[in-house]
Structure 1
Amino acid sequence: MVALHYEWYLTSAVFLGLFWLQHQIMFTAHDGGHTAITHNFVIDSLIAIFIADFCCGLSMGWWKSSHNVHHLVTNQPEHDPDIQNVPLFATCPSFFKSIRSTYYNGFVFVWDAAADFLVPYQKYTYYPVMGIARFNLYLLSWLHVLSRKSRDLSNSPGAAWIRPTEITFMACYWFLFGYCLLWRALPTWTIRVAFVLVSHIITMPLHVQITLSHWGMSTAELGESESFPQRQLRTTMDVDCPAWLDFIHGGLQFQAVHHLFPRLPRHNLRKAQVHVREFCRQTGIPYAILSFADGNKKVLGRLDEVGEQVAHLLACQKHMAETGESGLA
């Protein structure tokens, strides 16, 4: 507000982006969504909705609807909405077959010319897209609160207040951000566009952290013989960091532990990690824990691997179209 008062518009945009990025804000909403603050559904939901919907313009109802499924069927291409990002990204070859999403009511993520063009370059577009990912979350949030699914969820016992509260809070956010700030406080369209871009691109590290724990991990379906701990530890990676950096990671460095104990308060995750390590040592279940840099390399390596597979398939198709040969002896 001080920077805005002195007409330091882009400086103000940076601080607004840092506010959105602030993990003690956003991940308090995450904790509330998991009922991990007071363990009271109404109180934790109110905390989460105030932060997510009113302060950030994002629907907590949408997030919970998506995130609960993600926890149950982590990294399953047909079921987990967190990895259904075709044509921008594909984290495994299963997407080449145009998968039908159970989360999106049978919507088919068609593998088309756009995917052929974009996925081979996904290791280069990963960070730029993470810089503008927040715009997609706005869209998904409004699509959710206005959807029939949201209306049906409002009929659940004790949940009738959630949808109107979300719509009210999100409308307040856009009144304050869209009208009062962008339209009334900023003088020109150039500054408005720059303000929006700067404030949103600043949040890129948050979106990288959100995807880091899963995008480089296994997407195989091993069936009912695989136990819950085995599946969560196979599809989820933790980030190794000293305790003094926990504030920066906001709990996302313990995603594998969090997936095993979703309602465990964030401040207990480091303590629980000790027991998870011992459990994995005793059972022989692999436990992936990498540094933040190595985790990024793992994600980029997976994106590169899948992108190269697409490039090879396209090269084969081109060869067959030009020569009429399959290339097989």
Structure 2
Amino acid sequence: MANSTVLTGTRSPGGDEKQTSPEGSGPKRDREGHSARGSDFSELSRRISEAGLLRRRPLYYTVRFTAVGLALAGSVAAFLVLGDSWSQLFVAAALAVVFGQLGLAAHDLAHRQVFSRRRASEIGGLLVADVLLGMSYGWWMNKHTRHHANPNHEKKDPDVAPDIIVWSRRQARQAKGPARFVGKHQAALFFPLLTLEGLNLSFSSFKALRSPSLKRPVLEGTLLVAHFVVYFGGLFTLLSPGKALVFIAVHQGLFGLYLGSVFAPNHKGMPMIEEGTELDFLRRQVLTSRNVDGGALTDVFMGGLNYQIEHHLFPSMPTPALAKAQVITERYCAELGIPYCRSGLVASHRTALRHLRQVGAPLREAGR
């Protein structure tokens, strides 16, 4: 495909990733991906809509959110029963998983997968993100919306901003401060850095309260403070200071590792889009995303984000519809000759780490 030549990035050699082999070139199209019957995405959207995959699934989300709520209540009950004991570290680990699932729930609420009405989605998002997680719903939604609009774009996607880690050789050559030091060894440091992601989300949330782009800073600030008053108050009231600090380290560290393990396989190691590159919506989303193969456990662990290509194409599609959408989308991409990337979870992380090492090469070379 002609447009793929303008993308930067690396593919894993040796077949870690699976890509469909196009069987034909399909109808003739212009540079913007339009055919005689309209844009390529509009045709895919028509097929998805006719399959009924955009319908809300209230029963699914009722069961899923109830299960997460019960897990949270059970963890809190266990915390209260165990008292000042080192056994609380098992509760900390369990809460890390529960918090990860709450993060996935907030994600689905933000995309209006659960409720069709904006107000219901915002109320649910504020309760789950701010009250239960200690993360600003408004800040995260703004950041994630920009990511969806321009995934893996060097200048427009906040998820690949070179704050600490560099995602392209261009960023490596321009890196300064912490990114210049970390970038040299970022493949080895990637997973250790993920243990700080939970704390980073909370820190960034409080920092965002001063941003003019945040719609309800007073409300969100109040909810965030209430979360941490209960969180720290409960820990330091029931546990000794030493145990409380270790509990926080285990809980927040594993929570960050969980979130990072869910989000990192989806785009890291996929092509980066340079400034000035023009791609139609379908190709922009498909070429920069990777699906993660797996069974039911992978679906639960990743909350449906293992179907990242379909999620980016149809952000409001309910999670249980993504598997059927994947079959339709992959077949359609094969018709058009658009590479469609799939990989196992371990292989996807291997690809991401290999990419991090490769793009950090200019920093290592400069330090010799």
Do the two structures share a fold, i.e. TM-score over 0.5?
yes
CA–CA separation in structure 2 for the residues paired with 1:44 and 1:139: 24
2:236 to 158, 183, 191: 183
Q: TM (normalized to structure 1)?
A: 0.83
Residues 61, 145 of structure 1: 8 Å contact kept: no
For 1:299, the equivalent position in structure 2 comes to 352
Q: Deviations over 1:254-311 (max 9, x none)?
A: 1111111111111111111111111111001001110001100110000111122321
Q: Deviations over 1:58-96 (max 9, x none)?
A: 01101111011001111111111111143x311101213
For 1:324, the equivalent position in structure 2 comes to none
Q: Deviations over 1:106-160 (max 9, x none)?
A: xxxxx2253332211101110011111111111111111232221xxx3xxxxxx
Cα 1:164/1:42, change in 2 over 3 Å: farther
Residues 79, 91 of structure 2: 8 Å contact kept: yes
Offset of residue 202 of structure 1: 1.6
CA–CA separation in structure 1 for the residues paired with 2:240 and 2:93: 18
Q: TM (normalized to structure 2)?
A: 0.74
For 1:28, the equivalent position in structure 2 comes to 105
| Residue 337 (structure 2) pairs with residue 258 (structure 1) | no
**1:1-329 alignment, distance < 5 Å:** 1-7=77-83, 8=85, 9-21=88-100, 23=101, 25-86=102-163, 88-98=164-174, 111-112=175-176, 114-150=178-214, 154=215, 162-179=216-233, 181-188=234-241, 190-203=242-255, 204-221=257-274, 223=276, 225-315=278-368
Cα 1:69/1:244, change in 2 over 3 Å: same
Cα 1:40/1:197, change in 2 over 3 Å: same
Aligned length: 288
CA–CA separation in structure 1 for the residues paired with 2:338 and 2:117: 34
Offset of residue 223 of structure 1: 4.3
* RMSD, aligned CA: 1.8
CA–CA separation in structure 2 for the residues paired with 1:128 and 1:307: 17
CA–CA separation in structure 2 for the residues paired with 1:244 and 1:208: 14
CA–CA separation in structure 2 for the residues paired with 1:142 and 1:116: 26
CA–CA separation in structure 1 for the residues paired with 2:90 and 2:177: 40
2:262 alignment partner AA: Q
1:199 alignment partner AA: H
Offset of residue 41 of structure 1: 0.3
CA–CA separation in structure 2 for the residues paired with 1:13 and 1:94: 40
Residues 136, 206 of structure 2: 8 Å contact kept: yes
CA–CA separation in structure 1 for the residues paired with 2:79 and 2:202: 26
2:160 alignment partner AA: I
Structure 2 portions without partners, runs of 5+: 1-76
2:195 alignment partner AA: G
What is the identity percentage for the equivalent residue pairs of Structure 1 and Structure 2? 26
2:161 alignment partner AA: Q
SS state at 2:139 partner: helix
CA–CA separation in structure 1 for the residues paired with 2:79 and 2:178: 42
CA–CA separation in structure 1 for the residues paired with 2:211 and 2:275: 33
CA–CA separation in structure 2 for the residues paired with 1:245 and 1:70: 23
Cα 1:207/1:235, change in 2 over 3 Å: same
1:90 alignment partner AA: V
CA–CA separation in structure 1 for the residues paired with 2:178 and 2:132: 35
Higher relative contact order (CA 8 A, sep 6+): 2
CA–CA separation in structure 2 for the residues paired with 1:243 and 1:191: 36
